Amino acid sequence: MADIVIRKDRRAGRLTFNRPQALNALSHDMALAIDAALQEWRDDPEVALVLIDAAGERAFCSGGDIAAVYRTGLAGDHRVGRDFFRDEYRMNARIKEYPKPVVALMQGFVMGGGVGVGGHASHRIVGDTTQIAMPECGIGLIPDVGGSWLLGHAPGRVGEYLGLTGARMGPGDAIFAGFADAYIPEAEWPALIERLAESGDVAAIQGRPRPEAPLEGRDLAAFGTVSVAEIMAALEAAGDEAALKPLRRNSPLSMAATLALVRAARGDAHLRDSLARELRFTARATAQSDFLEGVRAQIIDKDRNPQWSADAGPAHVAAMLAPLGEDEIEWEDGK
């Protein structure tokens, strides 16, 4: 079976993640296939909307399949990672800018690359099992795939908190933070898909009252301070061990860069601006960050004991986010 099932179903273009055994992790080939389907359907009069869902109950998409990026980076080939991230980001932007409605039904784990697909859809539906997160600081990366854009536009200091800690959001928090639009019980999704495919009309989406959002009542003032060190000091003074625990565990360079990315994204006029900035870090990640060690510890060896060594000082953070010259992302329309 294909890793992603692509077909037309009455008035809908349908994209279904189909790697449930791998929690529907997004490979480079899958990202290219999504992008190609969206281009094909853009001017197809038979397609009124695009539906994105996933096989299995555990995950919509748990993140990017970065095994190849790890292996080639370890061998000194950094181009594979650059190409994967660049193509993925172009696909993320296409979803955001698509001229037809894009409906994403996001159950279970929605992390990293999954947020890059579902989080930029025009109609983002969550259910009771939904768990959305950007946990990249735990593997030495940064919230990419437009994650910095979503985090930068979250209310208050929610973006800094979610980006640095990698905390998971249930359906209520996801809607509150701007990562989702509507809560509908998952038992009703098959009937909703039928209505959408038959009618091609997003008026069929009738969200229920938003579930409780614990984030809404949290005091996140500490995450408004200038640096990661100051955030940690403020959390220590407040005795907030729950927030401190992931900050003590995550890559210092990744957290410093994430803080800069989230705050820069607040001034971006378009998602493309945030994606271009994210690529500056990820294109350099296999050579100049903690990424390879983070993947080794969390995914390959699974000892959960990364030995972070990358320079997290301001000069290196600035270097990681500096323009890429000829490797800057290029958009096909030239804009």
Q: Which of 120, 254, 107, 80 is nearest to 187 (CA)?
A: 107
CA pair distance 31, 37, nearest whole angstrom: 10
Q: Beta strands 123-126 and 59-61: pairing type?
A: unpaired
Do the beta carbons of residue 250 and residue 138 sit within 8 Å? yes
Closest CA to 100 of 49, 51, 157: 49
Nearest to 159 by CA among 172, 171, 176: 176
Q: What is the pLDDT along the chain (335 residues), one digit of tens a residue?
A: 799 999 999 999 999 999 999 999 999 999 999 999 999 999 999 999 999 999 999 999 999 998 889 999 999 999 999 999 999 999 999 999 999 999 999 999 999 999 999 999 999 999 999 999 999 999 999 999 999 999 999 999 999 999 999 999 999 999 999 999 999 999 999 999 999 999 999 999 999 999 999 999 999 999 999 999 999 999 999 999 999 999 999 999 999 999 999 999 999 999 999 999 999 999 999 999 999 999 999 999 999 999 999 999 999 999 999 999 999 999 987 65
Predicted local distance difference test score (pLDDT) of residue 68? 86
CB atoms within 10 A of CB 203: 8
Q: Locate tokens 């984030």: which residue?
A: 215
Q: Give, in degrees to the nearest 5, the angle at Cα 185 between 181 and 191.
A: 100
Cα torsion 21, 39, 51, 1: sign: negative
pLDDT at 26: 97
**What's the residue count for the chain?**
335
Domain ranges of the chain: 4-327
Q: 85 in helix, strand or coil?
A: helix
Q: What is the pLDDT of residue 67?
A: 87
Q: What is the pLDDT of residue 334?
A: 61
pLDDT the model gives residue 191? 98
Torsion, Cα 290 292 294 299, to 10 degrees, reads 170
Tokens encoding 166: 């990698």
pLDDT at 332: 82
DSSP string of 97-117?
A: H-SS-EEEEE-BEEETHHHHH
The CATH classification number of 4-327 equals 3.90.226.10
The answer to whether residues 238 and 86 touch, using CB atoms and an 8 Å cutoff, is no
> What span, in angstroms and rounded, lies between the C-alpha atoms of 158 and 172?
14
Nearest to 34 by CA among 15, 19, 20, 51: 15
State the pLDDT at residue 199: 98
Nearest Cα to Cα of residue 133 among 210, 235, 63, 205: 63
Residue 97, pLDDT score: 98
- Give the C-alpha separation, 290 to 140, whole Å: 5
Rounded-to-integer distance, Cα 137 and Cα 107, Å = 23
